[in-house]
A and B are shown apart, each in its own frame.
Chain A
């Protein structure tokens, strides 16, 4: 039996069509872009096409798409770039305690560099506190950043209400969004979102790792963060892998050619997964919201009285890849900061299991996962002093 892979929010399996689209750029079209000569012009024109392909579903212009080596670099270029370019207008930044680490580590860096950061709180389902956001805005505020879809809880932030608050401010507040978990999962129209910059990543939508893009609204000034020779993009000088860009564009094509039905398929699969878990395993709870305000690919449940690293290991030995928020599985031996920030206790955090689906998953895979998970939960609960004490 093939491995069942349900950790798609970390990375996803490259589509065969994507790998095929990359191949010419690793073989006969190995060139860099350039002027006048045919090889360089061929790459110029290919890149223009790739930018258009990626811009289209975002309702952006091709020249607003900047390729980067991934989502993290895109976040860095935007956050540090916006903060440094507009520091003459103020030194205050707002983000939230449930943001993606790219945002929080950049915020911490900027704090050390003389900026002030307000971290707004989130409710028990991971929605940021909009009243806090409104109250945090002050004349020196130059930047607000948010994570559109929470990478742990699947929570979709209320982007329309965030936009309204920022629009309502009496001065310009630059707006950066991390769309790593949102791109390809929910509709993203940059003009409706009102963002100035937005980071997206290719390997979450069935392209290979190592490529992403930053949307930068026309006319938005960013400070230069990386310096070097211009090959493909002003923001990230130096070389970028053209084959990966070609793969990225193909993955975007595939994701959006029938976007509505892919979304429906993911929603049906995750609804089915949650229903099966809740019907089969007692004393589990869903982390994050239920329904339309949750990204269609994410289910995160806490299985009480047992620990996620042990569950993950047992599933791994059964050929299933999933993720946990347990401290024991983390590099820093800390419980997941998102779960703790939304008020979960240690048992819920250590017992949290995250399943992130892709279009390659099936109901039969879910059936197998749930049957294994149920057996594992029963076995580990038999061994657990917490469960035995509750009996």
Chain B
């Protein structure tokens, strides 16, 4: 599957690209080791909680740039509560779809937006720093896309068990040994969970 015309348009002529001076909140997700990294900057009106301005920087492929561009378009002018409803599926839809192997790019863009909003809310006393627990792990697993079909591993019922005790994460995955994407999925789970200081050890089991 090739990129849609909308992906190409947002890649060649992205909206809201560039570093923002004095943002009210910012977030960076991903890393060069993952192959892509996105930074989102927010300016938020203090009384209405509307996103007055938003911009992004992207280190990544065409779909990474396009998904970051569209996510900023979707969030601009929305209140924080409205913007919190924006998911990677919205970004995908707004771009007329992505090749399955590129769906994780839309997850990264949506995730970065959500982290920026969360960072704003925490800094402005609108919410507490969330406790880390099994629910956090499951939320992170919802962001792991199985590249062959472009769906997350929770929806695909690939996760059989999630446990968290004394800093140790235990995950049982239902991915057979002949599956060529097995290592990619495991690696991405590690990248998503290692950023939490509460996580000391990650064990991923396969059948």
Genuine A/B complex? yes
Please state if A388 and B101 are interface contacts (CB–CB under 8 Å): no
Instruction: Tell me whether A71 is interfacial, beta carbon within 8 Å.
Output: no
Please state if B11 and A313 are interface contacts (CB–CB under 8 Å): yes
Q: How far is the CB of B184 from chain A (nearest CB, A)?
A: 6
Which of chain B's residues have a CB closer than 8 A to the CB of A92?
Answer: none
Which of chain A's residues have a CB closer than 8 A to the CB of B64?
Answer: 307, 310, 328
Give the secondary structure class of B's interface.
mixed
CB nearest to B69 among chain A residues? A383
CB nearest to A314 among chain B residues? B12
How far, in angstroms, from A350 to B36 measured CA to CA in the complex?
A: 9
CB nearest to A331 among chain B residues? B101
Please state if B14 and A328 are interface contacts (CB–CB under 8 Å): no
Please state if B184 and A313 are interface contacts (CB–CB under 8 Å): no
| Count of chain A residues with a beta carbon within 8 Å of a chain B beta carbon | 28
Please state if A350 and B35 are interface contacts (CB–CB under 8 Å): yes
Whether A327 touches B17, Cβ cut-off 8 Å, given contacts A310-B62, A384-B59, is no
CB nearest to A350 among chain B residues? B35
A-B contact count (CB 8 A): 73
Give the contacts of A343-388 with B (CB-CB under 8 A): 345-347, 350, 382-388
Please state if A385 and B57 are interface contacts (CB–CB under 8 Å): yes
Please state if A307 and B28 are interface contacts (CB–CB under 8 Å): no
Q: How far is the CB of A328 from chain B (nearest CB, A)?
A: 4
Q: Which of B3, B8, B36, B184 contacts A307 (CB 8 A)?
A: B36
Give the contacts of A235-288 with B (CB-CB under 8 A): none
Which of chain A's residues have a CB closer than 8 A to the CB of B33?
Answer: 346
Instruction: Tell me whether A306 is interfacial, beta carbon within 8 Å.
Output: yes
Please state if A386 and B37 are interface contacts (CB–CB under 8 Å): yes
Give the contacts of B16-55 with A (CB-CB under 8 A): 17-19, 28, 32-33, 35-39
Please state if A328 and B35 are interface contacts (CB–CB under 8 Å): yes
Instruction: Tell me whether B197 is interfacial, beta carbon within 8 Å.
Output: no
Please state if B35 and A384 are interface contacts (CB–CB under 8 Å): no
Instruction: Tell me whether B95 is interfacial, beta carbon within 8 Å.
Output: no
Which of chain B's residues have a CB closer than 8 A to the CB of A384?
Answer: 57-59
Please state if B35 and A385 are interface contacts (CB–CB under 8 Å): no
Instruction: Tell me whether B177 is interfacial, beta carbon within 8 Å.
Output: no
Instruction: Tell me whether B113 is interfacial, beta carbon within 8 Å.
Output: no
Q: Which of B36, B65, B180 contacts A383 (CB 8 A)?
A: B65
Give the secondary structure class of A's interface.
helix
Whether A385 touches B32, Cβ cut-off 8 Å, given contacts A310-B62, A332-B180, is no
How far, in angstroms, from A347 to B30 measured CA to CA in the complex?
A: 13
Please state if A310 and B11 are interface contacts (CB–CB under 8 Å): yes
Whether A350 touches B57, Cβ cut-off 8 Å, given contacts A310-B11, A313-B62, A317-B8, is no
Instruction: Tell me whether A335 is interfacial, beta carbon within 8 Å.
Output: yes
Please state if A307 and B59 are interface contacts (CB–CB under 8 Å): yes
Please state if B61 and A310 are interface contacts (CB–CB under 8 Å): yes
How far, in angstroms, from A335 to B202 measured CA to CA in the complex?
A: 23
Which of chain B's residues have a CB closer than 8 A to the CB of A332?
Answer: 180, 184
Please state if A335 and B35 are interface contacts (CB–CB under 8 Å): yes
How far, in angstroms, from A382 to B19 measured CA to CA in the complex?
A: 9
How far, in angstroms, from A306 to B61 measured CA to CA in the complex?
A: 9
Please state if A309 and B32 are interface contacts (CB–CB under 8 Å): no
Whether A307 touches B12, Cβ cut-off 8 Å, given contacts A333-B184, A388-B57, is no
Please state if A346 and B57 are interface contacts (CB–CB under 8 Å): no
Q: Which of A307, A334, A387 contacts B60 (CB 8 A)?
A: A307
**B64-84 interface code vs A (CB 8 A; 1 in, 0 out):** 110000000000000000000
Q: Which one of B19, B36, B37, B60 has the greatest number of beta carbons of chain A within 10 Å? A: B60
Q: Which of A329, A347, A383 contacts B58 (CB 8 A)?
A: A383
How far, in angstroms, from A35 to B101 measured CA to CA in the complex?
A: 53
Q: Which of B18, B59, B102 contacts A306 (CB 8 A)?
A: B59
Which of chain B's residues have a CB closer than 8 A to the CB of A100?
Answer: none
Instruction: Tell me whether A121 is interfacial, beta carbon within 8 Å.
Output: no
Instruction: Tell me whether B147 is interfacial, beta carbon within 8 Å.
Output: yes
Whether A345 touches B14, Cβ cut-off 8 Å, given contacts A307-B60, A309-B62, is no
CB nearest to A347 among chain B residues? B32
How far, in angstroms, from A333 to B104 measured CA to CA in the complex?
A: 11
Please state if A383 and B35 are interface contacts (CB–CB under 8 Å): no
Which of chain A's residues have a CB closer than 8 A to the CB of B3?
Answer: 313
Please state if A326 and B11 are interface contacts (CB–CB under 8 Å): no
Instruction: Tell me whether A183 is interfacial, beta carbon within 8 Å.
Output: no
> Can you show 7 pairs from A to B with CB atoms below 8 A apart?
A307-B36, A328-B36, A345-B32, A346-B35, A384-B59, A385-B58, A386-B32
Among all A-B residue pairs, the 10 with the closest Cβ atoms: A328-B61, A309-B61, A385-B57, A327-B35, A385-B39, A346-B32, A313-B62, A347-B32, A384-B59, A346-B33
